[in-house]
Every structure is written in C-alpha cells, then in structure tokens.
Amino acid sequence: MTATLTKPPTKPPTHTVDDTVNATVPDNVDRNAATLAAAPTKPPATRRRSVLADEGHPTVRPPAAAHLSDEQVAELGRELDAIRDAVVADRGARDAAYIRRVIKAQRTLEIGGRAALVVSVFPPAWVAGTAMLSVAKILENMEIGHNVLHGQWDWMRDPDIHSTTWEWDFVTPAASWKHTHNDIHHTWTNVVGKDRDVGYTMLRVSADQPWKPFNLGNPVYNMLLAPVFEWGIAVYDLEIDEVISGSKSRADLRRDLRAMGVKVLRQFSKDYVATPAVAALTGSALPALFGTLTANAVRNIWAHAVIFCGHFPEGADTFTEEMIEGETRGDWYVRQMIGSANISGSRAMHLMTGNLSHQVEHHLFPDLPSNRYAEVAPKVRELCERYGLPYNTGPMWKQVGSTWAKIFRLALP
C-alpha cells in the first residue's frame, strides 16, 4: 500500500503542515505510515508536513552539519537515494528466503519453549523453556514484528508477512504503534516538541527539554520502565498527553483503549492462562507461569536497551523546530544520520537486535529489508566521513553506559 508522491516544488517549502488527508512524504519514509495517517479510523495526532524540496536550506542547520553548503547537502541526498535505489533493484528471492527462515526459526523456538515449560517442574526443562521462549519473543518483536510493520517485506505481496496484516507479540496493538512510531517518530526524528519518542513523555533525554522537578526521578523511571517496556509503550501509544492537550479526541482514546483491551486479553490468554493451564497437567502450572513472566521481562529489558542505545546515547543529536523549518530532502537525511546511533557486534547480535543495531541505516531507509543494513552500513559510514558528519557507533556496553550516564546527568537542571 503506497502513498501518492508529488514532484517536489522548486523552492523549499516551510514546515507548515499539509492539511490534506494524503500528506506526501519523502520516498524512503515508510509508506504504511502515510497510509495509516490517511485512514479515517486513525487520524494523526501530529499533522504532517508537505513534501520536502530537493534544493534550499532550513532556517538553521544543526551544529554537526553547519559546515555543509546547500549543494553538499543536496549531493549527499542524491548519493543516499542511489544507495537505496540499488538495494530496491536487487532485493528478491534471497531476501524473501531470509525472512521466512527467521520466522520459521522463531516459531520453532516458541513451540519448543512452551513445550518445555509444560514439564517445567523439572528445573532443566524450566531453564531450557524459558530461554527458548525469551529468544523467540525477542526475534518476533525485533527482527520480525518491528520490521514487518515498517513495510520492509510488503514488496513480497505475501499476505502473511505484510504490514497491514501482521499483529505482533507485544501488548500494544500494531495499528497504534505504526501511528506513533512510523508516522510521527520517523518523520520528526528527535525534534523536541514534535517527536514524542524523545523521552516517551516521561524521561528527560535532551538538554533541549525544559527541566522540571519531576525529572529528578529520571534514573528511577528508566529502571522501572525496562522490565515492563511493552506496557510502557502500550500506555504511551494511547497518547493521553495528546488527549489532555486537545489534539486527540476522547472518542479516539476510547477506541484505542478498546483495541488495547482486546490485545491485552489475547496476550494474557496465551502467556498466563493457556500455557500454565496445559502445564498444570504435569504439576508445572506455577513454574510455567513464572517462565512466561520471565521470558516477557527478558524481552522487555533487551528491547529497551536496544531502542535506547539507538536514540539516546551521547552524540545522538536532538533538534529544535527552527532546524527543520525549510528542511530539504538532503537535510532530512542528515537529521536521521546525526540523530541516531549504532551498536557494533557480531552477526548474532545484529539478528537479536532486529538489525536495529544499524539504527543510522534504519532511520535513513526504514522500509528496506533489515538483512540489507549490514551491507549498506559501510557506504553510509564512508559518506559520513567524506562529508564531515559524525557516525555514532560502539559496542553494546559502551552505548548502554553512555545512555544511562545521560539519563542520570539530565535528571539535574
């Protein structure tokens, strides 16, 4: 499903919003986000801007890109377009085979994990079952669910692996997440006041966010959020702050609460009713319940770490609204590059992060198949070096430590 794109104007438009339902978006911004924004059942809380120009400049460029001329930014944009176009032209059978292998492995692990928990009265079975279920949940959320919902595999035309039909193993409904994540976050990446993902309306993660006494609890809130991350995202996706401000109607909130209630019932039935009930036949009900609780907590802590490392470590820039006024296509690319951070590591680590360890590449090309980010990354890094832009990357321990250090530091005025 695609949004109709119009030819960019010759003069750079400002970021005044496009009030039409089918707002146009950059080519590489998720089409499903635009489709979702156009759907009458899910109006966007933040209206979308008009199409970006190929030429011009914003009112002020971010400090990390202030040395670039308009011509350099435009050329950078063209080079990134060429990288994306090459992958699109080449994607095919091997990519389809990859995602189908991952889905098959994930489902095998989940079935095996739940089967082991049925006899988890025996400690080795509990350990094996909990471990397999934890890995299965991580794979489903990160490499499969997140990326399928981005429309990365829609080109396959497989109704079973499509952004419009996939419902993931996460408390928040897929439609709500696509709205807040694909439509809002990936459009307004790290723009304070527009991207609600900057601190998730709870944490202070940028010096551009005004300090309030509430922020003294920054480290505590983050520590409590990690093991229940899926629940935090579910509540966040309700956009209660938007209801309070009047940007979202109470009728829409009631609709989203109903959808969330259906999803919660489904998740509870699967993890905390069905599996323990079957396990009760072997006297393993309580161990099985504890195993599913543990698997969800492990997945939540891992997902929290990966997401926060991709957006909030030192060196990942945030932006003011002035910096996006008049933003061109090339400047949009620049914002994604300097506002994101990568995690270095092994192929197994990249798989377990859903290839969001390549967060820079994901934000540049959110609809490209995730298995292609590793081959794109060296080209993007070379462009950053050539144009004098930072390329934020480091091992997991470094990025986690950097993120937590920032969260502690910004708890204070």
Radius of gyration of the chain measured on its C-alpha atoms = 21
- Of the pLDDT bands very low, low, confident and very high (cuts 50, 70, 90), residue 21 is very low
What per-residue confidence (pLDDT) applies to 34?
39
> Helices (H) and strands (E) in the chain — how many of each?
17, 2
- Of the pLDDT bands very low, low, confident and very high (cuts 50, 70, 90), residue 23 is very low
- Of the pLDDT bands very low, low, confident and very high (cuts 50, 70, 90), residue 56 is confident
Distance CA 287, CA 165 (A): 33
What per-residue confidence (pLDDT) applies to 4?
34
What per-residue confidence (pLDDT) applies to 362?
98
For 51-65, 74-88, 122-136, which range has the lowest pLDDT when averaged over its residues?
A: 51-65
**Residues of the chain above pLDDT 70, percent:** 88
Distance CA 161, CA 276 (A): 29
Rounded mean pLDDT, 72-96: 97
Rounded mean pLDDT, 256-278: 97
Q: Indicate if the pLDDT at residue 133 is higher than 70.
A: yes
Q: Residue 393 corresponds to which tokens in the numbers above? A: 């990357």
Unique residue bearing structure tokens 């509870």:
268
For 29-33, 83-87, 154-158, 343-347, which range has the lowest pLDDT when averaged over its residues?
A: 29-33
Q: Indicate if the pLDDT at residue 309 is higher than 90.
A: yes
- Of the pLDDT bands very low, low, confident and very high (cuts 50, 70, 90), residue 185 is very high
Which of 289-296's residues contact partners 24+ apart within 8 Å by CB, and which partners? 290/126, 291/117, 291/120, 291/126, 291/129, 291/130, 291/133, 292/117, 292/133, 294/130, 294/134, 295/113, 295/130, 295/133, 295/134, 295/136, 295/137, 296/137, 296/230, 296/271
**Residues of the chain above pLDDT 90, percent:** 86
pTM, two decimals, is: 0.87
Q: Which has the higher per-residue pLDDT, 36 or 125?
A: 125
Q: Indicate if the pLDDT at residue 338 is higher than 90.
A: yes
CA angle 381, 385, 387 (to 5 degrees): 115
Q: Which has the higher per-residue pLDDT, 202 or 4?
A: 202
Whether 411 contacts 360, CB under 8 Å: no
Q: Indicate if the pLDDT at residue 107 is higher than 50.
A: yes
Q: Indicate if the pLDDT at residue 379 is higher than 90.
A: yes
- Of the pLDDT bands very low, low, confident and very high (cuts 50, 70, 90), residue 53 is confident
| 74 phi, psi to nearest 5 deg | -65, -40
Say which DSSP state 344 is in: E
> Considering the chain, what is the average pLDDT of its residues?
89
Q: Indicate if the pLDDT at residue 345 is higher than 90.
A: yes
